[in-house]
Structure 1
Amino acid sequence: MPHYLFASTPLYGHVAPLIAAGRHLAAAGHAVTMLTGSRFEANVRGAGLGFAPLPGRADFDERELESYLPDRARYRGVALSQYQIQNTFIHPIPDQWRALRGLLDGGRFDAVATDHLFAGAVPLLVRPRGQRPPVFAFGIGPVAQLTRDAPPAGMAMQPLWGVAGRLRNRALNLLATRLVFRDTQQLARRLVHEASGAPLPAGFPFILDLSRLFDRLLQLGPREFEYPLTDFAPGLRFVGPLDTSAAASTRPLPPWWDALDDGRPIVHVTQGTLDNRDFSSLVQPALHGLAGFDGHVVVSTGGAPVDALGPLPANARAAEFLPYDRLLPRLSALVTNGGYGTTLLALRHGVPLVVAPGAEDKPEVAARVQYFGVGINLRTARPAPVRVAEAVRAVVGDSPYRRRARALGDAIGRYRPLEDIRREFEVAAALAQTGPA
């Protein structure tokens, strides 16, 4: 029986897609062991996978920001981005690699697969191909690779081609790698050296260009939602988004659910499951701005108490969680802070978006929403109520945004991600039995 080792940074948006892929492989008769944060043990075992916990600094809980980002209030802008990247993805490298190496030394695996930001895989990736199993990555956010066609990921700037465009892009790439994120790169090199006992080879890629190093990058999104770059890594495969929403159907419907059946448009507002400590950034402005909207405004708090929203307008309903597999097909618009998975779930159903981008990769998601014309990018995490209302009115109905979202949804529907993922792993397992070609 083929056996695969999965490893994920303990962030829900990273872990959930890997569990979904692992569940499918396990159902097809493969064995999967997953290395991730201890809080996900029940989820992993419930999917029929073996579980191994990350140790030490690598085993943090994203719900408890003070435990791994205690000084975040001291930083702003680029400095905050560096602080978050270093504490979430770089400092855990030694503990990630220690756990990964222990599992590899203790058993035989036909392939290793991580999320695309699991930097603890770097000491494995620098080994010669004949001295390690194939190493895959799941792309769980917008493709982040240095390219001649666009500025670095994180700047949320769209591509620019031609001589002038490539000069601009080159300058910004140099600025990011040699100045802005120089300390992050040096920290990563030092930690990899300390963890593995060997320095990174000269010319080793920029740590934030990590996804180019994997033998395969299985991008969990459609090609149609990525910029038309000309220099993607050769190992990139667009397999399409995994639908992880069906599990929500096990939750009982809120008592007001049947009120949505009157034929009026439904707008859903969400800040996700993590950025839900301060609803004054997006949810409350949306509720205020849409108070006069002739339709339903439906809010999910992502587990936070509904009372935290304050009094609701007459046209609004709220619940901690909602069954997305039942809600999304009914939506006229989604107002979101730009999570990659939620955005793709909406687009799968042809739902146009209004995005008030939060932190991490959310500005990059919002930039793509704008580029492909499937919604409106508000360009701020704290929009004024009137801006939210104007944007919603622009995207609902038979709008150009709706038509383009439906076209993208049709494209997403043609992907078969689970089948393609299984095929990639089965090829890797077959090669492992015969040796590298």
Structure 2
Amino acid sequence: MSGFLFVVPPLVGHVNPTLGVAAELVRRGHRVAWAGPPRIVGPLVGREARVFPCAGRAPDDPGMARPPTLRGAAALKYLWERYLGPLAEEMAPGVLRAVEEFRPDVLVVDQQAVAGALVAERLGLPWATSASTSGEFTSLVGLPKVEAWIADFVDDLRKRIGDPHGTGDPRRSDRLVLVFSAEELIGAAEPLGEQVRCVGPSIVPRPYDGHFPWEWLDRGRPTVLITLGTANTGSGTRFLTECAAMVRDRSDRLQAVLVDPSGSVPGDDALLVRPSVPQLPLLERCAAVVCHGGHNTTCEALWHGLPLVVAPIRDDQPAIAAQVARAGVGVRVRFGRVTAEQLGAVLDAVLHEPGYRAAARRMARSLRAAGGPAAAATHLEELVVAASVEGSRPPGTSPPRLTAGQGGAHA
């Protein structure tokens, strides 16, 4: 029996892919715990899970919202300076305490919870990356100045909370990177790296506290899911309004479920508006998805063989949208400018032109063949064995305790 500590940020889309992996590890008899901000992480992982609390504000906390006009490199710089960097410093003491108490064999670290990687490097513990988006593998290609800026920023973080002499990239373990996608979708021009394992999306039941009116769905009409994910609440009113108008223009031949946490878009007989939805079971009843190009939504839709209309906003979303277009599984539109008429034309195309659905079904086979949580759990078990062979500690035994002076962040 080995111990696995999942280090995750307070971001729903980054926690969800790990749930199935953790459940599979527990099923195999391993110890599993979590380190992250409990307000977000706790409800997602369940009451029976062990969560070691870390400080860290969620992006929806007051003062954390990014200006909606930020795009490209400016948005990425803002993300690191105003959110990911401070989050790492806030989480580091909690991660250290979790390691001391739980004594894991391996840390499984989300690519945006870089405190986990820096702490693991500092303590000499093996760690794997949980890549909740594949966008980072392609989005910075051809942008060496941006990549260099991020590397310098990370080096400064390392001096404060990690090993000042370390050289690894905390966004990508050199031992194991679990990517919840398929190589066929990523379509990288260069090899992803020998430590990268594409395992497909983690499709397991997730908690849903709300009531969903399943009886509203008319099985005689195609259903379209319209969603901007969990982190774009404040920037989507115009786009969702155009989507609603597009649906009303087609109310005689389709229906849509539109996710609008703000409640600003009214529903009608053809449009069900909800603040949240049970996404996985809903996708089983859908014919297509209109979304922002979020990694989880995109891969989950494709796992179900559904073609997409993607309107990327920022961060990794343009890279994911490019993957969708290149694979022929959907159409990309401009989030800030697309009209109801234009949305209708591309939605009609993905619904009725057979090429899109055929490509989406082929991609579904690739994503399912990647193995999902079971494959990810096997790769993590193999990492434990490999690390134990390289060191002197057999699998399942406790790592050495922290020595004096290792219990907090560097001054």
**Class of the TM-score when normalised by the shorter of the 2 chains:** 0.7 to 0.9
TM-score (norm 1): 0.81
Inter-CA distance 80–42: structure 2 relative to 1 (3 Å threshold): closer
Distance 2:68 2:322 in 1: 26
Alignment equivalent of 2:67, drawn from 55, 72, 76: 72
Instruction: Give 2:180's aligned amino acid.
Output: L
Deviation at 1:326, TM superposition (A): 3.4
Q: In the alignment, which residue of structure 2 is the partner of 1:291?
A: 248
Distance 2:308 2:126 in 1: 38
SS in 1 for 2:177: strand
Inter-CA distance 40–19: structure 2 relative to 1 (3 Å threshold): farther
Alignment map for 1:292-331 (pairs within 5 Å): 292-293=249-250, 294-301=252-259, 303-305=261-263, 308-310=264-266, 312=267, 314-331=269-286
Alignment equivalent of 1:137, drawn from 109, 120, 129: 129
Deviation at 1:217, TM superposition (A): 0.2
Inter-CA distance 41–318: structure 2 relative to 1 (3 Å threshold): closer
Distance 2:261 2:157 in 1: 36
Deviation at 1:246, TM superposition (A): 5.0
Distance 2:368 2:291 in 1: 22
**Cα deviation per residue 1:12-41 (whole Å; 9 max; x = unaligned)?**
111122233212222322111100112135
Inter-CA distance 253–107: structure 2 relative to 1 (3 Å threshold): closer
Matching of residue 196 in structure 1 with residue 152 in structure 2: no
Contact 2:305 2:361 in 1 (8 A): yes
Q: In the alignment, which residue of structure 1 is the partner of 2:115?
A: 120
Distance 1:229 1:96 in 2: 35
Inter-CA distance 231–74: structure 2 relative to 1 (3 Å threshold): closer
SS in 2 for 1:242: coil
Extract unaligned runs of 5+ from structure 2: 393-411
**Cα deviation per residue 1:351-380 (whole Å; 9 max; x = unaligned)?**
110111122211111111100000000033
Alignment equivalent of 1:173, drawn from 143, 149, 156: 143
Q: In the alignment, which residue of structure 2 is the partner of 1:380?
A: 335
SS in 2 for 1:112: strand
Instruction: Give 1:142's aligned amino acid.
Output: S
Q: In the alignment, which residue of structure 1 is the partner of 2:237?
A: 280
Alignment map for 1:9-408 (pairs within 5 Å): 9-43=9-43, 46=46, 48-55=48-55, 59-64=56-61, 66-69=62-65, 72=67, 77-124=72-119, 126=121, 132-145=124-137, 153=139, 172-178=142-148, 182=149, 184-196=150-162, 198-201=164-167, 210-211=171-172, 213-244=173-204, 246-248=206-208, 251-254=210-213, 256-257=215-216, 259-261=217-219, 263-293=220-250, 294-301=252-259, 303-305=261-263, 308-310=264-266, 312=267, 314-408=269-363
Distance 2:214 2:176 in 1: 46
Distance 1:122 1:412 in 2: 27
Contact 2:9 2:112 in 1 (8 A): yes
Contact 1:375 1:401 in 2 (8 A): yes
**Cα deviation per residue 1:293-339 (whole Å; 9 max; x = unaligned)?**
1323322325443xx213x4543222233333333233222111111
Distance 2:69 2:333 in 1: 26
Deviation at 1:47, TM superposition (A): 6.1
SS in 1 for 2:76: helix
Deviation at 1:340, TM superposition (A): 0.8
SS in 2 for 1:396: helix
Instruction: Give 1:352's aligned amino acid.
Output: P
Deviation at 1:87, TM superposition (A): 2.1
Instruction: Give 1:141's aligned amino acid.
Output: T
Distance 1:337 1:220 in 2: 18
Inter-CA distance 411–33: structure 2 relative to 1 (3 Å threshold): same
Instruction: Give 1:144's aligned amino acid.
Output: E
Deviation at 1:80, TM superposition (A): 2.9
**Cα deviation per residue 1:245-297 (whole Å; 9 max; x = unaligned)?**
5544x75331652x412x22222211223323354332210111232213233
Deviation at 1:349, TM superposition (A): 1.3
Distance 1:84 1:229 in 2: 26
Inter-CA distance 232–45: structure 2 relative to 1 (3 Å threshold): closer
Distance 2:321 2:89 in 1: 33
Distance 2:311 2:282 in 1: 21
Deviation at 1:104, TM superposition (A): 2.5
Inter-CA distance 398–410: structure 2 relative to 1 (3 Å threshold): farther
Contact 2:5 2:32 in 1 (8 A): yes
Inter-CA distance 253–73: structure 2 relative to 1 (3 Å threshold): closer
Distance 2:387 2:53 in 1: 26
SS in 2 for 1:428: helix
Contact 2:224 2:287 in 1 (8 A): yes
**Cα deviation per residue 1:99-118 (whole Å; 9 max; x = unaligned)?**
22333344421111111222
Q: Percent identity?
A: 21
Instruction: Give 1:231's aligned amino acid.
Output: P
Inter-CA distance 47–17: structure 2 relative to 1 (3 Å threshold): farther
SS in 1 for 2:331: strand
User: Which has the higher relative contact order, 1 or 2, with Cα contacts under 8 A spaced 6 or more apart?
Assistant: 2
Deviation at 1:396, TM superposition (A): 0.6
